[in-house]
Amino acid sequence: MWAAFAQLSKTIPSRRAASSRCAVLGMSLRRCRMLNFGSRMYARIYATLLACIVLSVLLFGYLHFWIAPPRHMPRNASMAVIVLLVMIAVVIAAGAYPVVRRITRRLENLQSSVQAWGRGDLSARVQVQGRDEVAQLAASFNDSAARIEALVGAQKSLLANASHELRSPLARIRMAVELLQDTAGPAIRQELARNISELDQLIDEVLLASRLDAVPLEGAMREDVDFTGIVAEECARAGAVLDGVAQTLQGDATLLRRMVRNLLENARRHGGDADVSVVLASTSGGTLLEVCDRGPGVPAAERERIFEPFYRLPGASEKAGSVGLGLSLVRQIARRHGGEVECLPNGEHGACFRVTLPSGGQPSA
């Protein structure tokens, strides 16, 4: 009996073995893990239930017929009763099969929805079935997800509307500064112009970030883009040295240009007067873009945080002209095209920002 249960437990697929089988079948790792989770959980629950039933039957038979057998029952009738009990156990196990499978399937659906919601799909919901604890958990998740989606939507709407409304007073401030050309000194005019330019950049980047969040990935514009031409134009504008090959991508030319410009402006801002080098190359999976500077570099502990909105390195001066959204937009645009960006050290001094983009430019899941 124990050998049978041991054999049954061996049939439960391990993570590595199941992942290998899914890779052979061409399934995504996320889908593979979800099916893996469901099969393992289902097998363990069912094996545990079956073991409890069989052990209960055997224990009852042992106590009732061998320890204290009934006086009126012939000894040879004990075996018939044991067979009957085993048949009852088999019937119970067969009846428990759809019940256990139904529970695990609902848990799989719940896990799938939670994973989708965690990846950023705030509209993901779980279908509520029944009135048991699993249904209550699904309903609680749906209620919480709806509340958070509403709060995030209201925040994005407020930010976008406020940024849009700031355009008008900013235009009036710029006009007033132009009228002060004859009365204000050069230093004051230069400082006002710098502040206005920084505010204009902030509003522009906030509006762009709001637009990227508002438009779903499936609705993003896709066209053939001469990525080498975009990089070459932006390098000439920023005075950077380009070493690259011809690359064509599928994506949004305006967003890709903004991504390259933000990387070059960041390198020029923090790299000082040193040359900014740009490498554009082909890889087995698509296109690689590297923008390297010779500035102070980025500490290892901060190389992920610098991609957070409005985050600046400790000690960074506001006069540097950074509003803390440039690198965040770079990551958003890269991921919108199915790629990724990371910050790496550039030898002993400086930093390199490496962007990898697939040739097809499909959005990442």
What pLDDT is recorded for position 31?
A: 45
Q: Pick the more confident residue, 190 or 73.
A: 190
Q: What is the mean pLDDT of residues 309-328?
A: 72
Given 67, 97, 121, the domain boundary residue is 121
CATH number, domain of 228, equals: 3.30.565.10
Domain-located, residue 227? yes
Asked which of 52-61, 85-94, 228-237, 253-262 is least confident by mean pLDDT, the reply is 52-61
Contact 329, 262 (CB under 8 A): yes
Domain-located, residue 143? no
Q: Which residues contact 116 (CB under 8 A, 6 or more apart)?
A: 124
Cα dihedral 279, 284, 287, 291, rounded to 10, equals -30
Q: Is the pLDDT of residue 343 over 90?
A: yes
What is the tens place of the pLDDT at every residue in 73-99?
Answer: 555 555 666 677 677 777 776 776 676
Residue type, 242: L
Q: Which contacts of 121-124 are long-range, i.e. CB under 8 A and separated by 24 or more positions?
A: 122/148, 122/149, 122/152, 123/149
Range of the domain at 21: 2-121
Q: Pick the more confident residue, 45 or 75.
A: 45
Given 91, 121, 151, the domain boundary residue is 121
Residues 232 and 115 in one domain: no
Q: Pick the more confident residue, 56 or 21.
A: 56
What pLDDT is recorded for position 287?
A: 92
Domain-located, residue 198? no
What pLDDT is recorded for position 365?
A: 45
What pLDDT is recorded for position 229?
A: 92
From the number of C-beta atoms within 10 Å of its C-beta (0-12, 13-18, 19+), residue 93 rates as middle
Alpha-carbon distance 93 to 47, whole Å?
Answer: 10
What pLDDT is recorded for position 113?
A: 85
Q: Could you tell me the pLDDT band of residue 321, with boundaries at 50, 70 and 90?
A: low
Residues 109 and 224 in one domain: no
Sheet holding 340-345, edge to edge: 241-244, 277-282, 286-292, 351-358, 340-345
C-alpha distances (whole Å) from 66 to each of 58, 60, 75 are 11, 10, 9
Structural domain total, the chain: 2
Over the chain, what is the mean pLDDT? 74
Q: Which residues contact 149 (CB under 8 A, 6 or more apart)?
A: 122, 123
What pLDDT is recorded for position 154?
A: 77
List, as one string, the DSSP characters of 262-321. HHHHHHHHHHTTSPPEEEEEE-SSEEEEEEE--SS---GGGTTGGGSTT---TT--GGG-
Q: What is the mean pLDDT of residues 247-276?
A: 86
Domain-located, residue 364? no
Alpha-carbon distance 261 to 353, whole Å?
Answer: 13
| C-alpha triplet 64, 67, 71: angle, nearest 5° | 65
What is the tens place of the pLDDT at every residue in 1-29?
Answer: 334 334 434 444 444 444 444 443 344 44
Of the chain, the percentage scoring pLDDT greater than 90 comes to 14
Tell me phi and psi for residue 63, to 5 degrees.
Answer: -70, -35
Helical residues (DSSP H) of the chain, grouped into ranges = 2-10, 15-25, 29-61, 77-118, 133-165, 167-179, 186-214, 227-238, 253-271, 326-336
Domain-located, residue 311? yes
Alpha-carbon distance 230 to 6, whole Å?
Answer: 62
Q: What is the mean pLDDT of residues 135-152?
A: 86
3-state secondary structure of 241: strand
Alpha-carbon distance 57 to 73, whole Å?
Answer: 19
End-to-end CA distance of the chain: 46
Q: What is the mean pLDDT of residues 144-161?
A: 79
Q: Is the pLDDT of residue 228 over 80?
A: yes
Q: 251: closest CA among 155, 357, 329, 356? A: 357
Domain-located, residue 129? no
Residues 233 and 352 in one domain: yes
Q: Pick the more confident residue, 33 or 206.
A: 206
Residues 225 and 104 in one domain: no
Buried b (16+ CB within 10 A) or exposed e, 307-346: beeeebeeeeeeeeebbbbbbbbbbbbbbbbbbebebeeb
Place of tokens 């919108």: 336
Domain-located, residue 115? yes
> If residue 243 lies in a helix (H) or strand (E), which one and from where to where?
strand 241-244
Residues 234 and 111 in one domain: no
pTM: 0.56
What is the tens place of the pLDDT at every residue in 293-304?
Answer: 988 888 888 899
Given 85, 101, 121, the domain boundary residue is 121
Residue type, 204: D
Residues 224 and 353 in one domain: yes
Domain-located, residue 196? no
What pLDDT is recorded for position 217?
A: 54
Residues 238 and 111 in one domain: no
Q: What is the mean pLDDT of residues 311-337?
A: 77
Q: Could you tell me the pLDDT band of residue 170, with boundaries at 50, 70 and 90?
A: confident
